[in-house]
Structure 1
Amino acid sequence: MRDVTRRGLALSLLLSGVAGYVDAIGFIETGGLFVSFMSGNSTQAGVDVVERGLAASFLPLTLVAAFVIGVAAGALIGGQGRRRAWAITASGTAVALSSCLAALAPTGPARFWLLSFAMGALNTLYLSEGRARVPITYATGTLVSLGLSVAALLTGRSRTAWQRPLLLWGSLAGGAVVGATAHRLGSGLALLFAAIVLGIAAAGLAMHRGGRRQHASD
């Protein structure tokens, strides 16, 4: 995250907030599963196999599969990390469209798969050399970065490195609070709002990247 500009950081915080927002809605509707937190689904699938049988692990495992497919699709649509504005726009459009389709779909596995696909693709909006520079949906990686940054602070190596991972985690957690609140108004409407915000954010990111490229060529 160190090489992300302030404007890029602001956009990543917005995207992370939306990820927390969507994940909270998915958690409520699935009765305890996630559409962006795949570690939780993997653990739940393992427990279900033992406690309730293989069939019970179907939904958490397919959510993991949909998330991975979303990452792969986002990387392919976005040119596998070649940061052109059009590529980001294409990836962002795929994210927003799948979120919109999820909002319109009836509550059930199809909606949850679409949301997991969208959250997987969301992580490809900040790619560099085939790797995600900003962990949009996975708080564990962000908290590892935070812990390492705290160690750097205590050893005098960096006084400010902890700020960005803390902000990113806070955005994700805060988004979950907003999502749980918005769910009370109706999940379809709440998810449609998320799709609109994702579309706007992706457009903003594309404009930001396009502006940086144009500035670099001047």
Structure 2
Amino acid sequence: MIHIAIDGPAGSGKSTIAKKVANKLNIKYLDSGALYRIIGYFFKEKKNTLDENTIKETLDKLSISLKDDFYIVNGEKIDKQIRTANSGNYASTVAKIPEVREKVNLILRNISEKMSTVIDGRDIGTVVLPNAEYKFFLTASAEERAKRRFNELIEKGEDVNYNLILKEIKERDFNDTTRNIAPLKCAKDAIEIDTTSKNIDDVLKEILNYIDGDFDESKGC
């Protein structure tokens, strides 16, 4: 088995790249961000609250499993419901709660114990799978990440504002990098890749080359 950790801030392209790496290597892709979005979505949309104490008290009643590459939450298949602009903000809020992070990490580790996985997130290489054989940290300017997110939401038919998205991304960056528990950072043994001026194929090729043994050690964090 092999395990690949791909970390980075919101909009750096890690989810897109992780899916393609998994497809190329024929291994399971796990979206850790989706789990935080799911928990945020569940409590905000189903329970109408993001109160920390309420979440802690009822978190055990939330059943999350993986079936046919989709997460099933208390019997409900979750996909498009958590791909809205608001769901990202919900995720950032619940990710600050230690019990939520523990639940997400346990789900990811349990799955990875049984099969080869590619996981993307913000603390995969540092906390979730610190012994992963391959670790990557993708970055991009806040402006480029906001543009990508804006275009993605426009394609989905959502009415969004670029400046608001840029503001939210900068706020999420601050929250993710300054939180006390598992802050966003590049693992010491990870390879950092700036995706600002690179397309998906460029980044994919760079990662696959590294896994094949062709890499530049100077790119480490």
Q: Normalization by structure 1: what TM-score?
A: 0.30
Give 1 or 2: higher helix fraction.
1
- Superposition TM-score, scaled by structure 2 size: 0.30
Q: Which has the larger strand fraction?
A: 2
